[in-house]
Amino acid sequence: MSSLTNKTIAITGPTGIVGGPLVADLAQDNKVIALARFSDDAARADLESQGVECHKIDFTNPDFSGVPGDVDVVLNLAVTKTGAWRQDLAANAEGAGKLMKHFRGSGVFFHCSTGAVYQPNGGEPFATDAPHGNHHQHMLPTYSISKIASESVVRFAAEEFGLATVIARLNVPYSDRNGWPWFHLQMMRAGMDIEVHPDGAKYNLLHADDLTADVPHLLEQATTDTTVINWGSPGVVSVKEWCEYITELGGAPAANIVEAENAIPSTVMDLSQMEQIRPDRLVDWRTGIARMVEANR
């Protein structure tokens, strides 16, 4: 990421599916400060081996007293999904506001939201002003609502602190060894049922390579009015399609696909903004799935 070099970057959620690839990339040419619960000592040690400065923070009641506040960029990728309403709202919404207060003098703030903020609509593309709702209510009851709340807090804080901010609503990230398709690969090999929503279970996959390449371009869109962008890669693909392709590649026996009303509904995004910001993609979904299968043989 040549446009992010010699910066001081604070990042939350540094060990997750989004944060992990980003930290590995950013730490090569920047000073990275990672904020997380760090319940896994090995994960913290891995970050520190990359030169990352780590601070233990619980976002349900964060104490930033030991964290440097003078940074160029803040990447808020943390998310709490315990299913406990008070805890998840405190961590995801109030925690985001407290994070922005601490880093109010930074150059730009990036908030990772989710396509799960949208009200299910049968698989039609969501524009950023589409109705919101409890998209993940059956599997992750607090997730959608706490992420909607966090967006409102972030908008308020951006205006209150004059902090240039972008909210990116992420849609199905994955890599060679993480993400939804990777979990399905393991389930197929174990002979487990894969539940899909009757609406077709369609999504926009975003490979980790494109995820890391997108971030500098998304940061350029930040404003104190808060820019909101759907974040994914063009091309709609269903769970059934990527499972069938895994089998075609010899990665696993055919999936046992089972329709279930309680499965996660389709999340198809209008990605016209993203295509203007960064039209060229590094990894299409077939190439990404093929890489994943090969890496896990």
Burial, 175: exposed, middle or buried (Cβ in 10 Å; 0-12, 13-18, 19+)? buried
pLDDT score of 144 more than 70:
yes
- Nearest CA to 29 out of 55, 68, 3 is that of 3
pLDDT score of 1 more than 70:
no
Where helices occur in 190-271 by DSSP H, the ranges are 208-219, 239-248
Residue 205 and residue 166: Cα distance in Å, rounded? 21
pLDDT digits (tens, 9 = 90+) for 22-71: 999 999 999 999 999 999 999 999 999 999 999 999 999 999 999 999 99
pLDDT digits (tens, 9 = 90+) for 275-289: 999 999 999 999 999
Neighbours of 111 (CB within 10 A): 28
Across the range 205-218, mean pLDDT stands at 97
Alpha-carbon radius of gyration of the chain = 19
Please count the residues of the chain.
297
Alpha-carbon dihedral angle through residues 198, 113, 93, 89, given to the nearest 10 degrees: 20
pLDDT band at 139 (very low <50, low <70, confident <90, very high): confident
Token code pair at residue 200: 């077709």
- What domains are defined for the chain? 8-172+206-231 (3.40.50.720), 175-203+235-267+282-295 (3.90.25)
> The pTM is what?
0.96
In this prediction, what percent of the chain has a pLDDT beyond 70? 99
Neighbours of 245 (CB within 10 A): 17
